[in-house]
Copies of this chain bind each other. A is one copy, B any other.
Amino acid sequence: MKKIGIVTSGGDAPGMNAAIRALVRLSAWNNIETIGFLRGWEGIIKNNFINLDARAVSGILHLGGTILKTTRCLEFKTKEGLEKAAENLRSNNLDGLVVIGGDGSIRGAYELSRLTDVKIVALPASIDNDVYPSDETIGFDTAVNSALTEINKIRDTAISHERTFIVEVMGRKRGFLAVEVGLTAGAEVILVPEVEYDEDAVVEAIRKNARKGKNSSIIVIAEGVGKTTSLAEAIEKNVGVEVRVSVLGYVQRGGSPTARSRYLASIFAAKAIELLLDGKGGATIGIQKGQVTSTSLDESCRNEKPLNLELLRLAEKLAV
């Protein structure tokens, strides 16, 4: 293992820079040269990269986003794109490639791994937390805490105006972010795509709260549910309370990574470099039951990570 490439792909997540720093510094420690491709897969296809040494990653640990930039790349989804990318890995004499990204990036890493001997390892980094089989992704904890901070502020207005707020959080098609945010923010109702949507039940829950004298409620809804506006109307009409909608948006993606996001970035990077030094690739790193694990890219792509519905039930009991 003499030289490896690093790429960040898909949506940015807080802690990606912490992962880049850790990969570069651990490589330097093991006398491995590192380059960073710019703008995700596009950088590999266009052979657009920068050299990264230990000093080049100074002062980035606490920064949100990714210094390597990231973009959507349609060309990478074509056979030609993938082949050009595989060729550029070879032309740069790379022995390994570390891909930092979410669900889609790992799928891309898998596709690319089928066309090259270069060892490819994926580090799950995504605010959606939807990478199988890792219990957690880099950036997820930061996004949860960012959303929590926002909801704390929204609750001030909710209580002062005795309103119900519907807070829409990110998470694409999954409800990981919504469950964690809802549970820890003390949301009265949590709605996720993994559970069938039942408008009547939500209306009934808010009505019950009102009867109990709880004049303000917070409903956390995952963007994947897709019912935010119609739910607001249904509650206003049927319960007769004032409802406001707040879409948290891109605020959840940015910001300085929390300790936990930095910690995961560090131990995931250490495992990636360990695998590469052992001459292994084709793997997704993860954390399962507190241990850092490695799973084949293939298995990681083929499976869908289950949502812990137990937490939803716990959240419901805690919000009585």
Residues of A within 8 A of B (CB): 8, 12, 14, 16, 21-22, 25-26, 28-29, 39, 54-55, 58, 61-66, 69-71, 135, 141, 144-146, 148, 150, 152-157, 159-162, 165, 180-181, 183-186, 213-214, 244, 246-247, 249-251, 253-256, 258-260, 262-263, 266-267, 270, 288-291, 314-315, 317-320
Contacts and interface: CB of A to CB of B under 8 A. Distances in A.
A160 B246 contact: no
Overall SS of chain A's interface: helix
A286 to B, nearest CB: 12
Contacts of A256: 152
A184 to B, nearest CB: 4
B157 A250 contact: yes
Contacts of A148: 258-259
A28 B213 CA distance: 17
Given A153-B253, A251-B154, A180 B314 contact: no
Contacts of A58: 214
A259 B64 contact: no
Copies of this protein in the complex: 4
B156 A65 contact: yes
B28 A320 contact: yes
Question: What are the nearest 9 A-B pairs in CB distance?
Answer: A153-B254, A64-B156, A156-B254, A65-B160, A65-B156, A289-B290, A12-B160, A184-B262, A289-B289
A253 to B, nearest CB: 5
A314 B183 contact: no
Given A153-B255, A260-B260, A162 B266 contact: no
B184 A259 contact: yes
